[in-house]
Amino acid sequence: MGRKTGAKGGRRGRVFHVIKPISNSMTRVALPIFGSITSSGAGVLAGAFGMDPSGANKWTHYASIFDMFRVVGGTLRLVPVCTNQVVLNAMVLFAFDNDSSATPTAKTDIANYQEVTQLPAVWTSGAVRTFQFARPSRNGTMQGTTSLWLDEQNPSSSPGAVKFYGDGLSNSITYYSYELEYIVEFMYRS
């Protein structure tokens, strides 16, 4: 995904995403959503970010221009926001499921994936931690049923999810602020 600064005369300015035309009828764009992740009353962080990008501010704009879409991957960025009142030594597991969007109910639900990212529930540096995901592809061609294009009128039909699970945490605490940036390809119906 290309990035370009809005600066003139060599000064650094606001960073924005540049749409990458793939062909005359197809383009790729980054669509971010933002929020926070809070533990349950039982001290569990569990959830699944579905591959429905319609929550992004620019979704309506692109969906009004193009007829079809598919989510090809993306990046989840996490920033810790909790205070010293939390359990410090717990870990949270993240994985990408290409097909299912079911919320995990135990660490084993995540640990069985081929690629798992383990992050501390709390880190003190304030650094942004990232989890990147992509649909399976071979030689640049998406594989399986997710290679099919979906109608822009049904974004919730996009399969898959970024899943996460962590337990043994403090109860009802907001642990992270997040940005989930979907990389979406849009295409005109032929």
C-alpha 183/C-alpha 190 separation (Å) is 22
pLDDT of the residue at 170: 86
In angstroms, rounded to a whole number, what is the distance separating the alpha carbons of residues 127 and 130? 10
- 8 Å CB contact between 155 and 54: yes
On whether the CB atoms of residues 171 and 43 are closer than 8 A, the answer is yes
Q: How much is the pTM?
A: 0.82
Both tokens of residue 190? Answer: 């032929």
pLDDT tens digits for range 50-88: 999 999 999 999 999 999 999 999 999 999 887 565 666
Q: Is the distance from CB of 50 to CB of 160 less than 8 angstroms?
A: yes
Exposure of 25 in the CB half-sphere (CA atoms within 13 A): 6
Q: Which domains does the chain carry?
A: 3-187 (2.60.120.20)
Q: CB burial class (10 A; 0-12, 13-18, 19+) of residue 172?
A: exposed
Query: What is the spatial distance between Cα 133 and Cα 115, in angstroms, rounded to a whole number?
Result: 10
Residue found under tokens 């109910």: 105
Distance CA 184, CA 143 (A): 16
**Res. 121: pLDDT tops 80:** yes
Tens digits of residue pLDDT in 126-136: 789 999 998 87
Q: How many CB atoms lie within 10 A of CB 13?
A: 10
Q: Tens digit of pLDDT for each residue in 4-43?
A: 333 334 444 444 454 566 666 789 999 999 999 999 999 9
Taking CA atoms, 183 is separated from 81, 94, 188, in Å, by 26, 18, 17
